[in-house]
Amino acid sequence: MGKAAAVVWDQSFLGYDLGGDHPLNPVRLDLTIRLATALGVLDGVGLIAPEAATDADIERVHTASYLTAVREAPSSAWDVGHGLGTSDNPVFDRMHEASALIVGGSLEAARRIATGESDRAVSIAGGLHHAMRDHAAGFCVYNDCAVAISWLLDNGFDRIAYVDVDVHHGDGVQNAFYDDPRVMTISVHQNPMTLWPGTGWPAELGGKGAEGTAVNLPLPPGTRDGNWLRAFHAVVPGLLGAFRPQVLVTQCGVDSHQEDPLADLALSVDGHRAIYRALRDLAETYAGGKWLALGGGGYELLRVVPRSWTHLLATVLDRDLDPNVPLPASWVSHASRLAPGWSLPSSMTDGADPGFTPWDGDADTPVDAAVRNTRRAVFPLHGLDPDDRRD
Ligand SMILES: [Zn+2]
């Protein structure tokens, strides 16, 4: 890697706080930055503070009436609609400002790549992939991923690949670009029959004129590292090779972990580390090295998110951590003060082996059936042979 990667971070991101015992607790971001700092991952890295996105930029993917509702909700005496004020998306103080700041962080990361200042940029506060054009959904108020992609389309890029590894379908981003052949969205997620939002089937392929630029790979509940990676490698590299993106945007949700309380895949922190290394390789191989990495879901706040996203930051910065590196005592004591009695890990590994056997088209396991369904739906639209393991 040539130019230094850009890391967007500021404590002000912690203002996106849905309150009470909502699962999306911003402590997960704070604990990640503390862990990455304690391990030296951020040594010498100038953290870039975000500025709030303008209305004009947010309105790239949202309606003006939705922005008005978000602004007015905290002081409104009545229900403002637009998915706000539900248990998933409760209204909170300064909701518009906090949400616009997250969009601004992802935009700043995109800007660093577009100007050529950096080939890679990361904002772990971003990745709010469920927000829809005129309503909040799935803990997400504004869709920073979609705003950043839309901005890139107006600033020198006309082939953008978005890869979403969150356990949930990246429905908001898929919807935003469903009819746009310039953006390929690829989502790898838990089977929608078994998990909200219930979309993300292989037959969702993109609208007229954009067939094949929405890609969905739903995996059975219980899928572990090896099978997840086997499926990913059987689908994603071939499509990126055919699409030839100029930049890779990734949503790096970590709610696919075995211990995540909201979903049922069974990945490990070691699997997450392997995914980030694979995404980096794909950016280098197929996207000219340009990689915009965003956060996403992840609700095991102490044991999983800080370690997995510290691996993400390290991977973006080419400072890959040995999985066996112990957690610094200062971080462990801070985390245990937050959650007395909670069992904390002692190192950056779950002790799992994320090795995998490449897909060969022959086996007939549930994961291989999922791979076959997705390949058969989308590969022919790109001139690829779904049954040829070399494609
Ligand atoms: Zn999620």
The structure tokens listed for 125 are: 């506060």
Q: Compute the distance from residue 90 Cα to the ligand 1 centre, in Å.
A: 17
Q: How far is the CA of 253 from the centre of ligand 1 (A)?
A: 6
The DSSP-derived string for 153-168 is HTTT-S-EEEEE-SSS
Rounded CA-CA distance 142/101 in Å is 10
Cβ 10 vs Cβ 102: under 8 Å = no
Question: What pLDDT was estimated at residue 87?
Answer: 95
pLDDT the model gives residue 2: 59
Give distance in angstroms: CA of 251 to centre of ligand 1: 10
Burial class (CB in 10 A: 0-12, 13-18, 19+), 277: middle
Number of Cα atoms under 13 Å in the Cβ half of residue 296: 30
Query: For the whole model, what pTM was predicted?
Result: 0.98
Q: What is the pLDDT of residue 35?
A: 98
C-alpha to C-alpha distance for 151 and 64, rounded to whole angstroms: 17
- Ligand 1 centroid–CA 129 distance in Å is 8
How many angstroms separate the alpha carbon of residue 252 from the centre of ligand 1? Answer: 9
Token pair, residue 105, equals 């962080």
Determine contact, residues 185/170, Cβ cutoff 8 Å: yes
- Pairing between strand 160-164 and 120-123? unpaired
Tell me the pLDDT of the chain (391 aa) as tens digits: 458 899 999 999 999 999 999 999 999 999 999 999 999 999 999 999 999 999 999 999 999 999 999 999 999 988 999 999 999 999 999 999 999 999 999 999 999 999 999 999 999 999 999 999 999 999 999 999 999 999 999 999 999 999 999 999 999 999 999 999 999 999 999 999 999 999 999 999 999 999 999 999 999 999 999 999 999 999 999 999 999 999 999 999 999 999 999 999 999 999 999 999 999 999 999 999 999 999 999 999 999 999 999 999 999 999 999 999 999 999 999 999 999 988 999 999 999 999 999 999 888 899 999 999 999 999 999 999 999 999 9
Nearest to 283 by CA among 316, 319, 332, 256: 316
Q: Which pLDDT score is estimated for 3?
A: 81
102 with 125: CB under 8 angstroms?
Answer: yes
Sheet holding 160-164, edge to edge: 6-7, 120-123, 291-294, 247-251, 160-164, 183-190, 214-219
The pLDDT value recorded for residue 37 is 98
Contacts 24+ apart (CB under 8 A), 36-39: 36/309, 36/310, 36/313, 36/314, 38/328, 38/330, 38/331, 39/310, 39/314, 39/321, 39/325, 39/328, 39/348
* Residue of 130, 189, 257, 272 with catalytic role: 130
Is 130 known to be catalytic? Answer: yes
Amino acid letter for position 44: G
Q: 């995540």: which residue's tokens?
A: 260
In the reported structure, the alpha carbon of residue 383 is separated from the centroid of ligand 1 by a whole-number distance in angstroms of 32
